């Protein structure tokens, strides 16, 4: 094995190079290697100055997350201990210059800040993204960062987790120079300039720590920002507490306080949940039966059929990734509408400063609108996004089967239909797969990759690769009704309606759900998706109902009243110009009247019951899906819910949340609801089995690994 850290010399400057591909994470061996190299260089009388640089594509991108996961399991350990190394770097008698390219994030930034100087290439990023994992900078980062950049900037970086580019870092005082040209050459030249000068220790710097009154206002604003952008999350508040300590305590005391806070935060549920989701998002690409080296078809251009809501969004997702798109419609008016929607969307991004007009023009130029299949014989992937109708989809697949080249992947964006039946309309079912994007498709990160009986391994692997190329998370799911996400969504939506009939209001249900952490309440979601759509789905699946089964009653009435949701200005809520949901007494009266007529006794319902009934019914369905093998892992379901359905990442997804509550308790409530409400609550056998064995979904996943 090659050494992860090497020492060389250039023009009297010692160069410590970290070589721990792919991202120079601080895995075991790296901190030790840095320490040894530093001490050797310090002892060497020919060395006047030391440069620390990353080999390969980046500086130290961060901690080794596997170590953080281990720390979350054993919070008393406090995580990987970088403190002795940081002190040693800062106490080095010769100037240490950190030379940064790629990213210096988390632990990488903390090491950089212990150096006496920092230089970086212009496109390097520096940041403290720990909040994204539910933790805080834990290697003195909360104590050094405000000393370098000031309290307000440190608060912003730690609460948002957003990295900054080198030029901004220079302005803020985080780095000392932006290097043009070769980084090592520039860093060595810089080292030559500072050699022989007394070293400056970040920990001794206190001119940017502000006054008590200035800081009080900054922390109030920081807490308000945290509540807004990271609702219910403990990590940003913990980071603020540690930053506050930097402003009131001497450095070493501040570090002690930081360590205490790290232990506390690692012991909490949120860090564990967010670290779980981090790994789960990476694990989804490992699909049983699809070896890592499975060949993939190159995808350079795509044909999309249908320029409606989804087709337009998918076209943008492709163009955003630099992929050229043929976008086909049946009539000019629909094509014009579709293209106008795309243009409007891009224009709004340009207005908001997300990207320039030139970028927009490039993206628009990649989308080729047309009314024919011209050129579809040359594309590598065709995605069908026409109306949700089996006869229409079969007709389309019959047509493209005649045109597409032999190695073209044929995908449907269906949200509910049987992908095998669609594939049967072609002469090559092994090339057919479901690519279920979520609306708005250029924003939402989830793609369910629906694997029916037929697709070849190469087609599955290509689908995973295309999701990645589009910057999305592709999760392979089975070909069952509603696949994974929508299949769990239906009982969730139904139960929420039962709760309303039994005594709550849509807004009480939605408030309990958003307080729990869901991005939106389920009734607001229903209004956004359209009551007409929910009604059609309900009608379509009516044949699946068992005799005497309870059905929600109000939805049909809203449909008949034309209250089709946001698009009609009224659904479960009323909507104003800003599309904000407004509780509507007319709906309350309708719900009460409907319940009365159906003989449903109304009572007070607590937020706890709302959460248990709406979330546990989802979990119960998830357990069924798992047992049937339509999801490969409980963690896959968690990824689907956190990336596609607004489930809070800090709860780790529904299955992880069930483990956190304890499957025994979840099962006991499901069992209880089954006794009270009948067969819709019949416990999933897997839930029962795991609960009775004192096990968890995570443990079940491990048996499958």
Active site members: 110, 130
CB 629 → ligand NAI: shortest distance, Å?
A: 23
The three state secondary structure string of 564-591 is: CEHHHCECCCEECCCCCEECCHHHHHHH
Closest by CA to 123, choosing from 94, 153, 103, 152, is 103
Cis peptide, bond prior to residue 378, ω within 30 of zero: no
For ligand NAI, which is the closer residue by CB, 387 or 543? 387
Residue 309 in the binding site for ligand NAI (CB under 6 A): yes
Residue 334 in the binding site for ligand NAI (CB under 6 A): yes
Stretch that binds ligand NAI, among 176-184, 262-270, 306-314, 611-619 (CB under 6 A): 306-314
Residue 101 in the binding site for ligand NAI (CB under 6 A): no
Q: Which residue is nearest to ligand NAI (CB)?
A: 308
Residue 330 in the binding site for ligand NAI (CB under 6 A): yes
How far is residue 50's CA from residue 96's CA, in Å, rounded to a whole number? 5
Select from 54, 80, 146, 311 the one that contacts ligand NAI (CB under 6 A).
Answer: 311
CB 444 → ligand NAI: shortest distance, Å?
A: 9
Helix (H) or strand (E) holding 393: helix 390-403
Q: Total binding residues for ligand NAI by CB under 6 A?
A: 24
CB count, 10 Å around CB of 471?
A: 11
CB count, 10 Å around CB of 590?
A: 17
How far is residue 292's CA from residue 282's CA, in Å, rounded to a whole number? 13
Please report, as residue ranges, which positions from 385 to 404 form the binding site for ligand NAI (by CB under 6 A).
385-388, 392, 396
Select from 328, 442, 487, 563 the one that contacts ligand NAI (CB under 6 A).
Answer: 328
How far is residue 453's CA from residue 478's CA, in Å, rounded to a whole number? 9
Residue 494 in the binding site for ligand NAI (CB under 6 A): no
Stretch that binds ligand NAI, among 241-249, 274-282, 327-335, 400-408 (CB under 6 A): 327-335
Write out the E strands in 263-408: 301-305, 324-328, 367-370, 381-384
At residue 694, what are phi and psi to the nearest 5 degrees? 70, 25
CB 531 → ligand NAI: shortest distance, Å?
A: 14
| C-beta separation of 486 from 458 below 8 A | no
Residue 136 in the binding site for ligand NAI (CB under 6 A): no
Helix and strand totals (H; E) in the chain? 30, 19
Stretch that binds ligand NAI, among 7-15, 89-97, 407-415, 606-614 (CB under 6 A): 407-415
CB 613 → ligand NAI: shortest distance, Å?
A: 25
Give the SS3 label for residue 528.
helix
CB hemisphere CA count around 557 (13 angstroms): 16
How far is residue 540's CA from residue 525's CA, in Å, rounded to a whole number? 20
Q: Are strands 381-384 and 409-412 parallel, antiparallel or unpaired?
A: parallel
Select from 329, 380, 502, 584 the one that contacts ligand NAI (CB under 6 A).
Answer: 329
CB 307 → ligand NAI: shortest distance, Å?
A: 5
| C-beta separation of 229 from 158 below 8 A | no
CB 389 → ligand NAI: shortest distance, Å?
A: 8
For ligand NAI, which is the closer residue by CB, 154 or 315? 315
Stretch that binds ligand NAI, among 38-46, 217-225, 258-266, 410-418 (CB under 6 A): 410-418
CB 668 → ligand NAI: shortest distance, Å?
A: 35
Spacing of C-alpha 674 from chain mean position? 34
CB 564 → ligand NAI: shortest distance, Å?
A: 14
Select from 20, 125, 143, 414 the one that contacts ligand NAI (CB under 6 A).
Answer: 414
DSSP sequence for 171-220: HHTS-SEEEPS-HHHHHHHHHHHHTTSPP--GGG--TTS--HHHHHHHHH
Residue 474 in the binding site for ligand NAI (CB under 6 A): no
For ligand NAI, which is the closer residue by CB, 416 or 457? 416
Give the SS3 label for residue 404.
coil
| C-beta separation of 454 from 420 below 8 A | yes
The residues binding ligand NAI (CB under 6 A) are 305-311, 328-330, 334, 385-388, 392, 396, 413-415, 436-439
């Amino acid at each position: 094995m090659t050494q992860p850290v090497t020492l060389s010399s250039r023009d009297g400057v010692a160069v410590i190079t970290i070589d721990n591909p792919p991202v120079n994470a601080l895995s075991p061996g790296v901190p030790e290697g840095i320490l040894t190299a530093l001490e050797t260089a310090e002892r060497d009388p020919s060395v006047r100055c030391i440069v620390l640089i990353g080999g390969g594509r980046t500086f130290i991108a961060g901690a080794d997350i596997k170590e953080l996961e281990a720390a979350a399991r054993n919070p008393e350990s406090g995580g990987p201990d970088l403190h002795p190394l940081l002190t040693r770097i800062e106490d080095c008698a010769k100037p240490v210059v950190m030379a940064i390219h790629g990213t210096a994030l988390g632990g990488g930034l903390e090491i950089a800040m212990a150096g006496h100087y920092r230089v970086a290439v212009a496109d390097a990023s520096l940041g403290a993204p720990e909040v994204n994992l539910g933790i805080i900078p834990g290697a003195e980062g909360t104590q050094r960062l405000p000393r370098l950049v000031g309290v307000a900037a440190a608060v912003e970086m730690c609460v948002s987790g957003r990295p900054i580019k080198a030029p901004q870092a220079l302005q803020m005082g985080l780095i000392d120079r932006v290097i043009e040209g070769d980084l090592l050459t520039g860093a060595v030249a810089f080292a030559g300039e500072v050699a022989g000068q007394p070293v400056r220790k970040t920990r001794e710097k206190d001119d940017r720590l502000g006054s008590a009154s200035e800081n009080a206002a900054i922390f109030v604003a920081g807490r308000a920002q945290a509540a807004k952008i990271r609702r219910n999350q403990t990590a940003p508040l913990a980071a603020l507490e540690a930053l506050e300590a930097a402003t009131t305590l001497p450095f070493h005391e501040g570090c002690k306080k930081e360590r205490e806070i790290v232990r506390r935060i690692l012991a909490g549920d949120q860090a564990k949940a967010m670290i779980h989701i981090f790994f789960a998002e990476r694990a989804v690409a490992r699909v049983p039966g699809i070896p890592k080296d499975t060949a993939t078809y190159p995808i350079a251009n795509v044909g999309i059929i249908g320029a409606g809501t989804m087709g337009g969004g998918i076209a943008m997702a492709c163009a955003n990734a630099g992929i050229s798109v043929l976008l086909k419609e049946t009539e000019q008016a629909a094509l014009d509408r579709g293209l106008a929607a795309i243009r409007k969307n891009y224009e709004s991004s340009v207005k908001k400063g997300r990207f320039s007009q030139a970028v927009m023009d490039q993206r628009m130029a990649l989308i080729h609108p047309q009314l024919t299949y011209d050129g579809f014989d040359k594309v590598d992937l065709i995605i069908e996004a026409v109306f949700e109708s089996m006869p229409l989809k079969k007709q389309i697949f019959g047509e493209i089967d005649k045109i597409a080249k032999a190695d073209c992947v044929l995908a449907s964006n269906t949200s509910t239909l049987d992908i095998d039946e669609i594939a049967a309309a072609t002469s090559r079912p092994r090339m057919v797969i479901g690519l279920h994007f979520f609306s708005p498709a250029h924003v939402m990160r989830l793609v369910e990759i629906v694997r029916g009986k037929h697709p070849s391994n190469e087609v599955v692997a290509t689908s995973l690769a295309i999701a990645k190329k589009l910057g999305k998370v592709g999760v392979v799911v089975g070909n069952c009704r509603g696949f994974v996400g929508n299949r769990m969504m239906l009982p969730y939506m139904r139960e929420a309606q039962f709760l309303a009939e039994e005594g709550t209001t849509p807004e009480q249900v939605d408030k309990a759900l958003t307080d729990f952490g869901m991005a939106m309440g389920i009734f607001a979601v229903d209004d956004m998706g359209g009551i007409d759509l929910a009604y059609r789905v309900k009608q379509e699946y009516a044949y699946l109902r068992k005799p005497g089964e309870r059905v929600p009653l109000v939805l049909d009435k809203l449909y008949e009243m034309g209250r089709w949701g946001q698009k009609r200005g009224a659904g479960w809520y009323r909507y104003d110009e800003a599309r904000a949901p407004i509780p509507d007494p007319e709906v309350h009266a309708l719900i009460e009247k409907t319940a009365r007529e159906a003989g449903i006794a109304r009572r007070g319902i607590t937020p706890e019951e709302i959460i248990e009934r709406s979330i546990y019914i989802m979990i119960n369905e998830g357990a069924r899906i798992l047992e049937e093998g339509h999801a490969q892992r409980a963690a896959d379901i968690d990824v689907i819910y956190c990336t596609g359905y607004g489930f809070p990442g800090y709860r780790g997804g529904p299955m992880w949340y069930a483990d956190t509550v304890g499957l025994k308790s979840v099962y006991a409530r499901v069992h209880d609801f089954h006794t009270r409400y009948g067969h819709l609550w019949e416990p999933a056998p897997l839930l029962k089995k795991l609960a009775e064995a004192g096990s968890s979904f995570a443990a079940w996943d491990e048996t499958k690994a």
